[in-house]
Amino acid sequence: MCKTPLWTVTLLTAIAGAATAANAAGVDFDKQIAPIFKDNCLKCHGPDKQKGDLRLDTPEWIRKGAKDADEPTLTPGKPEKSQLYHRISLPKDDEDIMPPKGDPLTKAQQELIKQWITEGAPMGGGEVVVPKADDKAIAKLHDIGALAMPLARNTNLLNVDFRAVADQIGDSHLQNLAPVKEQLSWLNLANTKISDTGLKAIAGFPHLSRLHLEKTVIGDEAIEHIKTLKELEYLNLYGTKVTDKGVDQLKDLKNLKRLYVWQTGVSKDKAAELEKAIPGLRVDTGWEAPKIEPKPVETPKPADAAAAPAPAAAAVATLKPFNGDKCPLSGKDIDPTKTVAYKGRLIAFCCNNCKGKFEKDPDKLIAKVKDFKPAPYVTQFVLIDAKTDKPIRELKDGDTIDLSKEPKELTIEAKTDSVGQEIGSVMLKLNDEEHLEGIAPYGLAGDDNGDFNAAEILKPGKYTLAANAFSAEGGTGEPFAPTTISFTIK
Ligand code: HEC
């Protein structure tokens, strides 16, 4: 197993960016409205109790309103036709006032809710209001090597990710998730040693929306537990033993939007059937092209690679050389440590001599690789003014950035060529700092729909920047070879 800690650090901004983009002007549901509900209403209208058959802890529930109510709970744009406003704005001694006990909401809070409804009651990307996770529970997760952090700045929902220690994680570790049951929203168990029965530990988690189980040994029995996750939107079963019989039980997961079943026992027919059964679902059976058995290529041991920074080494490691086991220049057997990343593919050579020759003139010598076809790859890095979001210039290998001559807020964008195959995500790695991006543009510090965040990490120093594309979201699916440049900042 390659122990390079590829997944360890900064997933932060990618996730923050993917979460709610607050409406630019106007009332912000997540920051201004949800906290009012949380402090004053959820104890009677939350996950535990639903007085008047009303829940106010998620946008979905708020939109649904009170079951069988005579008056609409919420009419976007019309506070006067919304019980949600009417009931909080009654005189203090009215028997219908909400909350029914204690102080009424302040005038300011009432006005805010009125204003928010008048603006159409926007609720962003669907934030869920949950209490903050217990610090001890988080500390325990960190102890066993998991990444555990909020999904975004303004939420208590958690992302828990075991990838960095995947090969040490088994069923017994999952019991540490029980204390964060309410908060757990994204869970990554890819490559871990969990079993079908082990997944019982997460059954019924109310807010679990993304679940990575790829490359685990789970099979149809596990679906028993997965089908209890009512909020599940994303499920990755790539490389598991799940079959048609298993996924058939997912039909009641009406929120499911993406299901990955590449290299499983799930048939194309069953995939199509599921897509019919669940409106809005896309089942990804994987691209058919090269059936690569992910037999890892040995990467150079850290000892002999001391000087050479091995950008995204672990990602490269799971890639099989495109040219098979013969050197395209000499015809001899390849040395799997002598590889070059070219247009999303890994090309392997027999010796440093051939490797060096190729690196000098790759565009010409690629003709020696039979039937070469690029994979999705990063074609170019562009220096961006994060304030105006305008490109400054292409950043090339060997460049120097003089901070005194550039705008104050900078970032770098990775431009890609999908060569006809969908890109699921792009991993950018600046020295050891990683950043995963789901949707273009792929910025070094993320973006909000193209509004780039400044990359504060760009300080004077020497850098190697590698970026590689993956066929699926969240750095999963098939990895493609990285594009790498080195540059200096002064
Ligand atoms: C102490 C418990 C309690 C708290 C706190 C509370 N409610 Fe209620 N709420 C109730 C009960 C009981 C009902 C059902 C009886 C009724 O309609 O008066 C209800 C009903 C409602 C309804 C009407 C549902 C329908 O049938 O149309 C709305 C709207 C509502 N609450 C909003 C709120 C809001 C907003 C808050 C916070 C500002 C809040 N409630 C806080 C107990 C509570």
State pLDDT tens for residues 18-57: 333 333 457 888 889 999 999 999 999 988 888 999 999 8
Residue with CA nearest ligand 1 atom 13: 52
Q: What residues contact 24, with CB distance under 8 A and at least 6 apart?
A: none
Say yes or no: CB of residue 94 within 6 Å of ligand 1.
Answer: no
What's the mean pLDDT in 366-384? 92
CA of 82 to the centre of ligand 1 (A): 13
Average pLDDT along the chain: 84
Residue 375 pLDDT > 80:
yes
Strands (E), 257-303: 258-260, 282-284
Q: In whole angstroms, what is the distance from residue 379 CA to residue 152 CA?
A: 30
CATH 2.60.40 intervals, the chain: 377-489
Q: Is 341 buried (19+), middle (13-18) or exposed (0-12) by CB count in 10 A?
A: buried
Give mean pLDDT, residues 75-81.
89
Lowest mean pLDDT among 8-17, 117-126, 183-192: 8-17
Q: Bigger pLDDT: 37 or 293?
A: 37
Mean pLDDT of 371-397: 91
264 lines ligand 1 (CB under 6 A): no
pLDDT tens by residue, 405-450: 999 999 999 998 877 777 888 999 998 788 888 888 899 988 776 7
Of 1.10.287, 3.10.620, 3.40.190, 2.60.40, which CATH number belongs to 377-489?
2.60.40
> Which class is domain 321-368?
mainly beta
Instruction: Please give the residue that has the higher pLDDT: either 422 or 163.
Output: 163
Hey, whose CA ends up nearest to atom 35 of ligand 1?
A: 84
Nearest atom (ligand 1) to Cα of 83: 29
* 368, pLDDT greater than 90: yes
Instruction: For residue 370, count other CB atoms closer than 10 A to its CB.
Output: 10
- pLDDT for 152 equals 66
Does ligand 1 lie within 6 Å of residue 44's CB atom?
yes
C-alpha 57 to ligand 1 mean position (Å): 13
Q: Give the mean model confidence (pLDDT) for residues 134-161.
A: 88
| pLDDT value for 125 | 53
- In the chain, residues under CATH classification 2.30.170 are 321-368
73 C-beta closer than 6 A to ligand 1:
yes
CA distance 391 to 411: 10
Q: Which helix (H) or strand (E) element contains residue 430?
A: strand 425-430
Question: What would the pLDDT profile of 325-334 be if each residue is shown by its tens digit?
Answer: 999 999 999 9
* The predicted structure's pLDDT at residue 289: 33
Q: Using CA atoms, how far apart are residues 179 and 230, in angstroms rounded to an integer?
A: 19
Query: What integer pLDDT is reported at residue 309 of this predicted model?
Result: 35
Q: What is the pLDDT of residue 434?
A: 82
Dist. CA 179 → ligand 1 center (Å): 29
Q: Is 87 in the pocket of ligand 1 (CB under 6 A)?
A: yes
pLDDT of residue 3 exceeding 90: no
Q: What is d(CA 429, CA 10) in angstroms, rounded to the nearest whole number?
A: 10
Nearest CA to ligand 1 atom 15: 52
- Best mutation site among 29, 39, 40, 44 for ligand 1, i.e. most ligand atoms within 8 A of its Cβ? 44
CB of residue 320 inside a 6 A radius of ligand 1: no
Give the lowest-confidence range in 70-84, 241-255, 429-443. Answer: 429-443
User: Is residue 317's pLDDT more than 50?
Assistant: no
Residue 153 confidence (pLDDT): 57
pLDDT band at 290 (very low <50, low <70, confident <90, very high): very low
Return the CATH number of 129-284, one of 3.40.50.300, 3.80.10.10, 1.10.3720.10, 3.40.350.10: 3.80.10.10
Residue 128 pLDDT grade (very low, low, confident, very high; cuts 50, 70, 90): low
Buried b (16+ CB within 10 A) or exposed e, 47-64: beebeeebbbbbbebbee
Range with the lowest mean pLDDT among 73-82, 191-200, 378-387, 429-438? 429-438
Mutate to test the pocket of ligand 1, among 29, 38, 41 (most ligand atoms within 8 A of CB): 41
End-to-end CA distance of the chain: 38
For residues 262 and 223, which has the higher predicted lDDT (pLDDT)? Answer: 223
Look at strands 210-212 and 234-236 and give their pairing: parallel
198's CB contacts (< 8 A; 6+ apart) are: 170, 171, 174
CB of 101 within 6 A of ligand 1: the answer is yes
Q: Compute the distance from residue 83 Cα to the ligand 1 centre, in Å.
A: 9
Residue with more model confidence, 217 or 1: 217
Instruction: Identify the pLDDT of residue 286.
Output: 63
Beta pairing, strands 377-385 & 390-395: antiparallel
